Amino acid sequence: MARFYIIGFSVLLFFDTIAQCSFKLTAIHAQPLEMSIDWLVRVFTNPWIYISITGYIFTFFTWMTLLKKAPVGPAFAASHFELVTVMIVSIWLFNEPITLFKLIGTILIVSGILFLALAESKLSKQNSSNQHS
């Protein structure tokens, strides 16, 4: 089961990160932002928008597959690792600066995910020991 979670959440993070970064690339190529047909043409003639949409379709199906077996609380928290992966990719791909606040935020996100996972682990152990008693 642990292998299922590791592979599943890795795939989820991959698709989600690809989709978010593709949206950023679409936004860059569609500048300037304006409410016009020209802007829509720039958006929908850019291949990155289709990579974004495809990424979110795959994210959706991966998420539905994970939710069949994973508890919702920790799964939802773990799905937010994308904030960390998008930040890392953005530093590399878009030359975005790494700041103290980004580092603190990343540490807090990862800590929160770990605490939720530990709480769920203890809860499932208690439930399994109560079922065997």
Dig out the tokens for 20 from the structure. Answer: 């978010």
What confidence tens digit (pLDDT) does each residue in 98-126 have? 999 989 988 998 888 888 777 776 766 67
Cα 46 versus chain centre, distance: 23
- Ordered by start, the domain boundaries in the chain are 2-132
> Are 66 and 29 in contact, with CB atoms under 8 Å apart?
no
Cα 7 versus chain centre, distance: 14
Q: What's the whole-model pTM score?
A: 0.78
Percent of the chain at pLDDT > 90 equals 55
> Are 52 and 19 in contact, with CB atoms under 8 Å apart?
yes
Percent of the chain at pLDDT > 70 equals 90
Cα 38 versus chain centre, distance: 31
pLDDT averaged over every residue in the chain: 87
Amino acid symbol at 106: T
